[in-house]
């Protein structure tokens, strides 16, 4: 199975978790405006229905342009962005969320995340503002990102609106078993950023063996492994070939031996680790 198989995978074939399409397009570091817009348009017209961005990526305008260019209705797109760590005071959340909505050229967001529990983050104040946006109908769902289990439990307890998802780095070299278990306990979905470990998964013999067995790419194997774990993946891709190849992962079904082989990888690689991360 190669990238041509992406043509046979319809949007309806993409599984969903609590309404989130389980394969989306990530846009982190996609900061060339035209390239970003075209990658979003290409992904949507290939079948993707989940687009992820953030204030900190400085590309919300381009993402919105890509959505506008695509021959896909806005209502069919699950659109997520994130409030940056300098904007988590109550007034700043309310103001900058509206600015994000304006830059994206939409009337509402499907999901708005706290990007990191850092700097101006105050659980009571931050989630009071998120709940206000939820009550106003400007956001359909509240999310958190990079929250460790204790912070997730606190957020679930404090926020008046349900917490839909926790977006964290997850891939075969960082399976995040503890965080995934905590999310399951709180009925919170896991969304994986950097699901290919910035390409590090491609060099793993276990993943290469599974890819050879199924005649697919290592990227497809890693994305299918995440899906087997109930994790939503949002790989970044800019070129049409990579966008199509990732989409074709939806046709790949791993067997138990495949999953066990990947689970047995004895290597850890965290690719995103700023000094303000809660695990530091």
In contact, 43 and 252? CB cutoff 8 Å: no
List of residues 6+ apart from 39 with CB closer than 8 A: 25, 27, 30, 66, 237, 238, 239, 243
**Which pLDDT belongs to residue 11?**
86
pLDDT greater than 60 at residue 251 = yes
Per-residue pLDDT of 99-154, as tens digits, reads 999 999 999 999 999 999 999 999 999 999 999 999 999 999 999 999 999 999 99
**Which pLDDT belongs to residue 9?**
82
Residues of the chain above pLDDT 90, percent: 95
Dig out the tokens for 192 from the structure: 């994986």
**Which pLDDT belongs to residue 82?**
98
Partners of 233 in the beta sheet? 23, 192
Task: Give yes or no: 57 in active site.
Answer: yes
Q: Where in the chain are the domains? A: 16-198+232-239
Per-residue pLDDT of 257-273, as tens digits, reads 999 999 999 999 999 99
Question: What's the pTM value of the predicted model, to 2 decimals?
Answer: 0.96
Per-residue pLDDT of 152-189, as tens digits, reads 999 999 999 999 999 999 999 999 999 999 999 999 99
Average pLDDT of the segment spanning 227-251: 97
- Selecting among 57, 113, 121, 134, the annotated active-site residue is 57
CA distances to 34, 98, 116, 234, 248 from 106, rounded to whole Å, are: 19, 10, 24, 21, 29
**Which pLDDT belongs to residue 6?**
63
What fold is seen in the domain 16-198+232-239? Answer: TIM Barrel (3.20.20)
Average pLDDT, the chain: 96
């Amino acid at each position: 199975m190669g990238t041509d198989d992406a043509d046979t995978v319809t949007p309806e074939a993409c599984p969903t978790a609590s309404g989130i399409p389980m394969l989306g397009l990530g846009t982190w570091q996609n900061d060339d405006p035209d390239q970003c817009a075209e990658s979003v348009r290409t992904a949507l017209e290939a079948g993707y229905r989940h687009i992820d961005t953030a204030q900190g990526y400085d590309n919300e305008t381009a993402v919105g342009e890509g959505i506008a260019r695509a021959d896909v209705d806005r209502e069919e797109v699950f659109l997520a962005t994130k409030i940056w760590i300098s904007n988590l005071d109550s007034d700043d959340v309310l103001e900058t969320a509206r600015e994000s909505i304006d830059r994206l050229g939409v009337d509402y967001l499907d999901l708005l995340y706290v990007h990191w529990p850092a700097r101006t983050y105050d659980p009571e104040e931050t989630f009071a503002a998120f709940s206000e946006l939820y009550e106003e109908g400007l956001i359909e769902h509240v999310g958190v990102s990079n929250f460790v289990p204790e912070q997730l439990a606190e957020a679930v307890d404090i926020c008046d609106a349900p917490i839909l998802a926790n977006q964290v780095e997850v891939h075969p070299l960082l399976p995040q078993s503890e965080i995934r278990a905590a999310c399951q306990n709180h009925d919170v979905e896991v969304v994986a950023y950097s699901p290919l470990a910035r390409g590090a998964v491609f060099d793993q013999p276990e993943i290469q063996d599974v890819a050879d067995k199924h005649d697919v790419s290592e990227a497809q194997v890693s994305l299918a492994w995440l899906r087997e774990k109930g994790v939503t993946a949002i790989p970044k891709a800019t070129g049409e070939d990579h966008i199509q190849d990732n989409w074709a992962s939806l046709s790949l079904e791993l067997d138990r031996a495949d999953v066990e082989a990947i689970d047995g990888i004895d290597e850890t690689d965290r690719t995103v680790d700023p000094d303000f991360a809660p695990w530091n």
